[in-house]
Amino acid sequence: MRKRETIETFGRMKVNLFKILLVSVIGLVSATVSANAVIEIDITRGNVQPLPIAVTPLSGSGAQMTTAGSVMEIGKQISQVVTADLERSGLFNAIDPRAFINSDNATAAPQFANWRAVGAQALVTGATILREDGQLRVEFRLWDVLAGSQMAGLALTGSPQSWRRVAHKISDAIYKRLTGEEGYFDTRIVYISESGPYLNRIKRLAIMDQDGYNHQFMTDGSFMVLNPRFSPTSQEITYLSYYNDTPRVYLFNINTGKSEMLGEFRGMTFAPRFSPDGKNVIMSKAEHGNTDIFVMELATRRIKQLTTNSAIDTSPSYSPFGRYITFTSDRGGSPQLYVMDADGGNIKRITFGQGLYSTPVWSPRGDLIAFTKQTGGKFYIGVIRPDGSGERILTESYFEEGPTWSPNGRVIMYYRKYPYDNKGGGGETQLWSIDLTGYNERQVLTPLDGSDPAWSPLLDRR
């Protein structure tokens, strides 16, 4: 009997021990799990703001002189151009140099605490050095102020006179590192410079850097010019000229300054634009009251008709890889946007909204088509996806048209015309640019009135 009780007691003890052990193990496991637990948080909102950046004057010797000024002065001017480029993009907020606590020596690591104190998140330092061969070497470094580390560093060498291009290249490098997109500062704009009264307007072909500097007229204004467009190499420009009162498409070589007519056709040719590979020029040709789209192979000057509709087909523009063409046609009763294959097949209408659509231009990124829209007595610049979805209006005014894309597909330039007033004033035409987001609309300053701009590709692709 006692033995049995002992066995039972022992059995009960075993059960209790097992329970205790089980509880201990569970406790230990849960404690371990809890000790290793990591909080995971989704950050889904933020504030899209210009990035605060400090661009210090590039250091350089004030005693060393070049044909473009002292090395120190060039260093300061490069910093100013870089600052202006970045600010104009709308994506950066350049900190006023007067707020700088110190100017770091380009060769030493910056005092990041001082830059954090003025609110900078990015910092540009650098130096200009005059080499023995007379070339200017410009070094710069881009720093992450909060991390205290270098993000980019580059050295460029060129003639002292080319310091503005050097500055734009530095801007492009900074822009690319901080936005992930190619820059667009080392680019040029070709446009129609306008002057004179409304009925006797003088229109000249003009070219300038994207920031308005290095402005030049390429024609003398003795005959009207329209529709200038850069070739993908940036060395050539196509445009429409009324030379001898006959509208024809011409090819202008920037390096040589010479023009040549692209083919001799019956009728009128206009709205030229290069193919992405630069081998073809696509244009409109009007004959016997009908306008169709043609493509010319530049090497052979052979032309091929792409559209045969009795309506007006015009303003053709290639997609970035040349597979598709977007154009305007009124074949549906009013001017609308269409997309077709590069050989003229598979034509699809992509706009069905109210209003008249014209001047479609395919984005260099390929994701959007910019256009001019006219409705309700106003003009608009907008973008739409190639499949016709996602139409978005960016800007509106009394009259504006002729969008052109920055080479990175981020900014659109166009021209705006103001109405004439009763006192004989008004009627000015100006170049404007706007960010793809619809913000950061800015006037692009030109010496005279300006219209019909075209943005070049990045110049370093030459």
Binding site for another protein (CB under 8 A): 34-49, 51, 91, 121, 144, 146-147, 151, 177-181, 365, 367, 409-410, 437
- Calpha distance 209→49 (Å, rounded): 27
Dihedral Cα 6, 12, 18, 21, nearest 10 deg = -90
* Nearest CB to another protein, comparing residues 330 and 367: 367
* Nearest CB to another protein, comparing residues 81 and 411: 411
Query: What strands, in cross-sheet order, belong to the sheet with 442-444?
Result: 399-405, 411-417, 429-435, 442-444
* Nearest CB to another protein, comparing residues 331 and 365: 365
Amino acid at site 25: V
* Nearest CB to another protein, comparing residues 102 and 149: 149
* Minimum distance, C-beta of residue 144 to another protein, in the bound complex (Å): 7
Describe the crossing of helices 163-179 and 71-88 by its angle, rounded to 10 degrees. 40
* Minimum distance, C-beta of residue 149 to another protein, in the bound complex (Å): 9
* Minimum distance, C-beta of residue 32 to another protein, in the bound complex (Å): 11
The position carrying tokens 């849960």 is 30
- Calpha distance 94→120 (Å, rounded): 9
* Nearest CB to another protein, comparing residues 72 and 142: 142
Neighbours of 252 (CB within 10 A): 23
* Minimum distance, C-beta of residue 224 to another protein, in the bound complex (Å): 38
Which candidate, 204, 210, 179, places its Cα nearest to that of 433?
Answer: 210
Beta strands 122-130; 51-55: pairing state: parallel
Do residues 428 and 202 touch, judged by C-beta distance below 8 A? no
* Minimum distance, C-beta of residue 393 to another protein, in the bound complex (Å): 15
- Calpha distance 264→296 (Å, rounded): 12
* Minimum distance, C-beta of residue 368 to another protein, in the bound complex (Å): 10
CA-CA-CA-CA torsion sign (457, 459, 461, 462): positive
Dig out the tokens for 272 from the structure: 């030229």
* Minimum distance, C-beta of residue 46 to another protein, in the bound complex (Å): 3
* Nearest CB to another protein, comparing residues 105 and 437: 437
* Nearest CB to another protein, comparing residues 100 and 184: 184
* Minimum distance, C-beta of residue 175 to another protein, in the bound complex (Å): 9
* Nearest CB to another protein, comparing residues 73 and 367: 367
Do residues 223 and 242 touch, judged by C-beta distance below 8 A? yes
- Calpha distance 340→393 (Å, rounded): 23
